[in-house]
Each structure stands twice: as C-alpha cells, then as structure tokens.
C-alpha cells in the first residue's frame, strides 16, 4: 500500500485542483472581488495551518534560511503567477491561458534538468509528453489560438508555468533540513497570508465581507481544500520530487472538466475521453519510472 500512496496523493491533488476552478467560478459569479477571494482563501489556509501546527506541537521554524524559503515559495507558488493570470485574463481566451499554464510539467522537467533536482529518464519524458498530448487534445479545439493576442500578453502568460516550475524545483532543492511537510506548508501559508493582507489594505472592498452568500461558501471550501492540498503538495515533493508532483497539473485539467459536468451540467467533447486515456498512459509511465524515494533534506512525519 505504501507504494500506492504517492499515486493516490497525486490523483487527489489533481482532482481537488480541478474542483478549485469550479468553486472559484461560483465565488466570482457571486460578486466577490478577486482580491477578496484570494485574501479570504489564503488567510483561511494560514489560520488552519497555524492551528494544526499548534495542535501538533511542531511549529514552523523562522530562522533566516526558513524565512527566505517561505518567502520564495509564497511568491513563486502563489502571488506572482496569480498576478500574471489576473493581468492577462482580459486580453486572451481562457482556453489559451489554460493551455499555456498546463505546460508547467514540461517547464519543470527542463528546470529540474538544469538544477539537477530530480532524475530524468526515458519513461518520465514519455509520460510527460503523453500528458502534454492529453492536455492539447482537450483544450486545443477551444483555445482559439488564431485569435489576435499581443505578444507581450503571451509572454506574461508564459511566466505562469515558469513560476510554478521554479516553485516545484526550489522546494525540492532548498527544503529546510529538519522540517516536515506540515511545517513547510504552514510557513509558506503564513507568509502568503501576510503578503496578501498587506496588499489588501490598499485594495480591500468591504462589500466582500458584508453579507454571507454562496460565494463565501465556495471560499470556505476552497480554503478547506487548499489546507489539505498544500500539505499533499509538499509531501509529494518530499517523497517523489518536483517532476512527479507537477504531473498533477494534467490530472487537474481532466478533473476540472468532470467537476464542471457535475456542478454546472457542462458536456465535454469526445476529445475529453481521448485525453483521459492518454492521461492514464502518462500516469502509468511516470509512475513506473525509477524515482528518488529518499531525500536527505526531508524528515518523516
């Protein structure tokens, strides 16, 4: 069962990431601002992580090297890609942006090779390429790449997967010795919350918290899901490395379509099922390849 644990965690992570988009859609349609959604969700995660740390009796450390680690992770995994997405979303089709963000595993593979943070072999490359085909099969017909999009918006959008790939590899390479996954997740959540609180002081809209509605319910569930996802993300980084963890992006797209079917009665195209089959083959290849099982910088929970 221990051998299946990383795969089960990966599937859960991708599934919950896909659900996140449907919940975000509900929150946006309810009229809550982007700043309000992101701040309330992130602060909720920070509070939840802090409560877990206090209950466990293992608080995150805040020495200089830990602070630098938390800050870089908060910026590369939360804030910078979020800002880039908000900048470009009004200037390109959503399908095209999703397609660009979905190349994160390929960027992670390249940076892992440059930083020597993970093992690169033929089955893993084949698995990631198949995953890329799965994403293209489901998104390319709706991406409207022929639409006229300014090059500077495309370049800003490309920053998103690059930022995520830097986050994956930095977390694997610079993991603070002696810290477990909960401590690292808590430290990152606290720093992301503090940065967003400072940002929201200049952009806060009090109507975001004046009356509870369906959007606030969605935010509550997003925070609860993120509370689990952050831990699983760092646990997968610790156990399997950045390339394996980034593969959750592929499953995220498939699960996002399925959650849309359940929550909004959306009907996917037949290409979605082709994409699902490619994803299964991709997960098989990346799961059978020889991975780094033990990392000297990580500590068992």
Residues 197 and 210: their CA atoms lie apart, in Å, by 18
Helix (H/G/I), strand (E/B), else coil: 1: coil
Give the least confident one: 33-37, 75-79, 96-100, 102-106: 96-100
User: Is residue 197 assigned to a domain?
Assistant: yes
User: Is residue 297 assigned to a domain?
Assistant: no
User: Is residue 5 assigned to a domain?
Assistant: no
Measured on CA atoms in the order 259, 260, 265, 267, is the torsion positive or negative?
A: negative
Q: Would you place residue 298 in the very low, low, confident or very high pLDDT band (cuts 50, 70, 90)?
A: very low
Tell me the average pLDDT across 55-71. Answer: 91
User: Is residue 160 assigned to a domain?
Assistant: yes
Is residue 254 within 8 Å of residue 189, measured between CB atoms? no
Close Cβ partners of 152 (under 8 Å, ≥ 6 residues apart): none
Q: State the pLDDT at residue 58.
A: 86
User: Is residue 188 assigned to a domain?
Assistant: yes
Q: What is the DSSP string of 244-288?
A: HHHTHHHHHHHHHHHHHHHHH-----THHHHHHHHHHHHHHHHHH
Question: Angle at the Cα of 85 (from 104 to 256), degrees rounded to 5?
Answer: 60
Q: State the pLDDT at residue 140.
A: 64
Residue 144 has pLDDT above 60, yes or no: no
Tell me the average pLDDT across 25-51. Answer: 84
Percent of all residues in the chain with a pLDDT value above 90, rounded to a whole number: 10
Residues 108 and 240: their CA atoms lie apart, in Å, by 14
Residues 263 and 150: their CA atoms lie apart, in Å, by 34
Give the least confident one: 210-219, 257-266, 284-293: 284-293
Q: Would you place residue 301 in the very low, low, confident or very high pLDDT band (cuts 50, 70, 90)?
A: very low
Report H helices in 102-247. 104-115, 122-143, 151-173, 181-200, 214-240, 242-246
Residue 35 has pLDDT above 60, yes or no: yes
Q: State the pLDDT at residue 2.
A: 61
Residue 82 has pLDDT above 80, yes or no: no
Q: What does pLDDT average to over the chain?
A: 78
Print the domain residue range for 162: 10-288
User: Is residue 78 assigned to a domain?
Assistant: yes
Q: State the pLDDT at residue 211.
A: 76
Residue 71 has pLDDT above 70, yes or no: yes
Q: State the pLDDT at residue 69.
A: 94
Q: For residue 80, give both structure tokens.
A: 């910078």
Question: Angle at the Cα of 253 (from 212 to 38), degrees rounded to 5?
Answer: 30
Q: State the pLDDT at residue 295.
A: 43
Q: State the pLDDT at residue 268.
A: 58
Residue 152 has pLDDT above 70, yes or no: yes
Residue with the bigger pLDDT between 198 and 67: it is 67
223 CA to centre of own chain = 13
Q: Would you place residue 206 in the very low, low, confident or very high pLDDT band (cuts 50, 70, 90)?
A: low
User: Is residue 298 assigned to a domain?
Assistant: no
User: How many CB atoms neighbour CB 254 within 10 A?
Assistant: 23
Q: State the pLDDT at residue 288.
A: 63
Residue with the bigger pLDDT between 259 and 67: it is 67
User: Is residue 301 assigned to a domain?
Assistant: no
Tell me the average pLDDT across 99-119. Answer: 75
Q: Would you place residue 57 in the very low, low, confident or very high pLDDT band (cuts 50, 70, 90)?
A: confident
pTM, full prediction: 0.71
Please tell me the total count of domains within the chain. Answer: 1
| Distance (Å) of CA 199 to CA 38, 48, 110, 133 | 11, 21, 33, 38
Residue 156 has pLDDT above 90, yes or no: no
């Amino acid at each position: 069962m221990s051998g299946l644990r990383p795969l089960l965690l990966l599937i859960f992570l991708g599934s919950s990431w896909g659900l996140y988009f449907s919940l975000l859609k509900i929150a946006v349609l309810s009229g809550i601002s982007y700043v309000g959604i992101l701040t309330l969700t992130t602060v909720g995660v920070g509070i939840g992580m802090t409560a877990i740390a206090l209950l466990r009796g293992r608080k995150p450390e805040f020495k200089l090297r830990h602070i630098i680690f938390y800050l870089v992770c908060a910026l590369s995994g939360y804030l910078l890609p979020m800002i880039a997405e908000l900048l470009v979303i009004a200037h390109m089709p959503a399908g095209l942006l999703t397609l660009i963000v979905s190349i994160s595993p390929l960027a992670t593979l390249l940076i892992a090779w440059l930083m020597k943070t993970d093992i690169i072999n033929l089955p893993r490359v084949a698995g990631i390429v198949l995953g890329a085909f799965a994403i293209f099969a489901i998104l390319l017909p709706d991406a409207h790449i022929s639409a006229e999009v300014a090059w500077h918006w495309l370049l800003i959008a490309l920053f998103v997967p690059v930022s995520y790939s830097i986050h994956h590899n930095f977390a694997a390479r610079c993991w603070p010795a002696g810290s477990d996954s909960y401590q690292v997740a808590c430290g990152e959540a606290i720093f992301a919350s503090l940065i967003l609180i400072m940002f929201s002081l200049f952009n806060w809209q009090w109507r975001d918290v004046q009356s509870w509605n369906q959007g606030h319910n969605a935010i509550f569930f997003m925070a609860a899901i993120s509370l689990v996802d952050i831990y699983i993300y760092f646990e997968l980084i610790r156990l399997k490395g950045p390339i394996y963890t980034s593969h959750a992006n592929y499953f995220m797209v498939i699960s996002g379509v399925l959650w849309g079917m359940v929550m909004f009665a959306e009907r996917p195209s037949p290409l979605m099922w082709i994409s699902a089959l490619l994803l299964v083959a991709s997960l098989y290849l990346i799961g059978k390849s020889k991975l780094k099982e033990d990392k000297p910088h990580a500590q068992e929970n």
